[in-house]
Amino acid sequence: MAKTRSWRWSLPALLLAGQAHATGIQFNMTPGVTDISQQVYALHMTIFWICCAIGLVVFTAMFVSIILHRKSRGVTPATFHESTKVEIIWTAIPVLILIVMAIPATRVLIAMEDTSDSDVTVLITGSQWRWHYEYLDYDIDYFSILATPRGQVEGRLPKGDNYLLEVDRPLVIPTGKKVRFLMTSDDVIHSWWVPAFAIKKDTNPGFINEAWTQVNEPGIYRGQCAELCGMDHGFMPIVVIAKEPDDFAKWVEQEEARIAAIREEEQRLLALRMNIEEQMVLGERVYLAHCAACHQPNGTGLPPMFPALKDNYVTTQDRAEHIKVMVDGRPGTSMASFARQLSLRELTSVITYTRNAWGNDTGDVVQAVEVYEYMQGKGE
């Protein structure tokens, strides 16, 4: 709350100072960190100044007229009401300006659409309300979800500097290399936007779009989903870390090792029996991160779109169906498959958690092997 107050009162202070640095307030488009984004910025500024010039001419004429040609000054109105010459001139001049503007715009657009000869390819898949990144050249894929705690959104915790613009696992790309993005969606249309790269491309379910970037500066770049995609459209940020090629190679190694370790852990887990306490702790964490946005922290849901899990037939009785829904999702609804998104351990724990939280009290302890067998049984 203290944090909230401090920026609120900074508003008059900002006005007085006449400049805005404290909160990083920004008036204009970012020039970005790629050659393309800087060309886009240049186009933006050119057309902006052209528009200002046109506005200046029109409004000057208008205000001169308003000041001079008013009845209170005792003027008599002129009687002219047409002039072919003048009309041709003010039709022709805008046409010329537009042609001058269209040439560089066409050039930049064609450069932006050329995705050939890329060094790295990442498949970006949007779903409600998270991004999935899959490196086609490496054995790496993971989900990237909002990392801002719910408490900050609801005002129970002070808001951090990167409020709503932070994720658990950012996309990592190398600098100085042409990175190609393939984009698609698992459900509705989303739009992947990173202003610093001047990339905004819709992810259409069932189709693949392409874009590319070549980042010059290492750094952390943030963006957001730009196409209304349902309830939590405002809560699916994008974070991209650009690393020097050497650091990127190291990251790839680590990430491949991490993902291999998770797979090994899964195999080990199959032989293991997790107790309910352990599962409830992990399950709650997973639930709050992945489920609570729709089904609500207390399991009451937002019916009819997002059913209550508290006292629900599936979560209290039909254990097999519960596992099936978690693994397969419910096609045609917002309930996605969580088989790829959660580790086996997380998946198992969150099922146990929902079967025992908020008075569901089934006492069921689901084990990893049970979930695993269902996945195998359908040939996953």
Partner 1 sequence: MSTVTTADHHDEHHDHKPTGIKRWLFTTNHKDIGSLYLIFALAMFFLGGAMAMVIRLELFQPGLQFVDPQFFNQMTTMHGLIMVFGAVMPAFTGLANWMIPMMIGAPDMALPRMNNWSFWILPFAFLILIISMFLPGGGPDFGWTFYAPLSTTYSNDSTALFVFAVHIMGISSIMGAINVIVTIVNMRAPGMTWMKLPLFVWTWLITAFLLIMVMPVLAGVVTMVLTDKYFATSFFDAAGGGDPVLFQHIFWFFGHPEVYIMILPAFGIVSAIVPTFARKKLFGYASMVYATASIAILSFLVWAHHMFTTGMPVFATLFFMYTTMLIAVPTGVKVFNWVATMWRGAMTFEVPMMFALAFIVLFTIGGLSGVMLAITPADFQYHDTYFVVAHFHYVLVSGAVFSIVAAVYYWLPKWTGHMYDEKLGQLHFWCSLISVNLLFFPMHFVGLAGMPRRIPDYALQFADFNAFVSVGGFLFGLSQLIFLWVVIKCARGGEKAPAKPWEGAEGLEWEVPSPAPYHTFDTPPQVK
Residues 11-30 that bind partner 1 (CB under 8 A): 11, 14, 20, 23-30
Q: How far is the CB of 241 from partner 1 (least distance, A)?
A: 18
Which residues between 104 and 133 bind partner 1 (CB under 8 A)?
105-106, 108-110, 112-113, 128
CB distance 185 to 210 below 8 Å: no
Q: How far apart are CA 22 and CA 3, in angstroms?
A: 13
Convert residues 304-333 into a mask of x (bound to partner 1 by CB under 8 A) and - (unbound).
xx--------------------------xx
Angle between helices 84-112 and 35-68 (to 10 degrees): 160
Cα→Cα distances 2→23, 163, 164, 307, Å = 15, 15, 18, 36
> How do 120-127 and 179-185 pair as beta strands?
parallel
**Structure-block tokens of residue 275:** 């107790």
Question: Of 62, 41, 59, nearest to 51 (Cα)?
Answer: 59
Question: Which one of the spans 44-52, 169-177, 238-246, 264-272 is the region binding partner 1 (CB under 8 A)?
Answer: 44-52
**Residue 35 interacts with partner 1 (CB under 8 A): yes or no:** no
Q: How far is the CB of 376 from partner 1 (least distance, A)?
A: 26
Which one, 95 or 271, has the nearer CB to partner 1?
95
Which one, 234 or 374, has the nearer CB to partner 1?
234
Question: Which one of the spans 167-175, 194-202, 309-317, 357-365 is the region binding partner 1 (CB under 8 A)?
Answer: 194-202
Of the candidate residues 2, 8, 359, 379, the single one contacting partner 1 (CB under 8 A) = 8
Phi and psi angles of residue 26, each rounded to the nearest 5 degrees, phi first: -130, 130
Q: How far apart are CA 16 and CA 19, in angstroms?
A: 8
Sign of the Cα torsion 232, 237, 238, 239 reads negative
Q: How far is the CB of 31 from partner 1 (least distance, A)?
A: 11
Of the candidate residues 2, 18, 77, 277, the single one contacting partner 1 (CB under 8 A) = 77
Which one, 201 or 355, has the nearer CB to partner 1?
201
